[in-house]
Amino acid sequence: MTTDTNTRAMDINEKLTSLLGGNPFDIQLIGKTVDRSWGKPWEHDLWCVFLKGHPGMEFNYRTGMGLRKNGKPVKPSLADILYSLHADSYYTEYSLDELAKEMEITVPSKAVEVHAAIHRSAAIFRKAVPAAVREQVEALLQDY
């Protein structure tokens, strides 16, 4: 990231934190792992993200090795987490068949798994971002 990009990301994170009255997530590093579920192995850092005050509302978040600093994992920011959840929410309007076609998923059980994860992401986003500030948060995420 360039200095301008870093400054912009920091500004967006500060605005999000202010709008939400703090960071609604606890983020814990699980560790380095390799995912083979999409065919080609992908080495990444795996994080578990918990929505504070909502037991059971947690999900995994992955960051690629290229995002490490000095060989160490870098915790995802509030904007990173919200952007990911919001991006997933886009696909909630898709039927299972439409989603499988769009994402080129050929294994039916994988399509069901992804479809459920997308709806779960949308639910977590709605819980984390109160309706009163949702439009402002979404506008900030468009620039992220």
**Crossing angle of helices 131-142 and 78-89, rounded to 10°:** 100
89, 77, 83, 90: which is closest to 25 by C-alpha? 77
Query: What is d(CA 85, CA 80) in angstroms, rounded to the nearest whole number?
Result: 9
pLDDT single digits (tens) 72-103: 999 999 999 999 999 998 899 999 999 999 99
The model's pTM is 0.87
Dihedral of CA 119/123/124/128: which sign? positive
- The model's pLDDT over 10-52, given as tens digits with 9 standing for 90+, comes to 999 999 999 999 999 999 999 999 988 767 899 999 999 999 9
- Are the C-beta atoms of residues 31 and 62 closer than 8 Å to each other? no
Q: Which two tokens stand for residue 68?
A: 């490490």
Q: Domain locations in the chain?
A: 3-142
CA-wise closest residue to 50 among 26, 30, 74, 28 = 26
CA separation for the pair 66, 43 (Å, rounded): 10
The per-residue pLDDT for 36 is 86
The terminus-to-terminus CA distance of the chain in angstroms comes to 12
Question: Residue 2's pLDDT is what?
Answer: 56
Region 105-115: mean pLDDT is 89
Q: What is the pLDDT of residue 82?
A: 97
Average pLDDT, integer, range 52-70: 93
Question: Quick one: pLDDT at residue 3?
Answer: 63
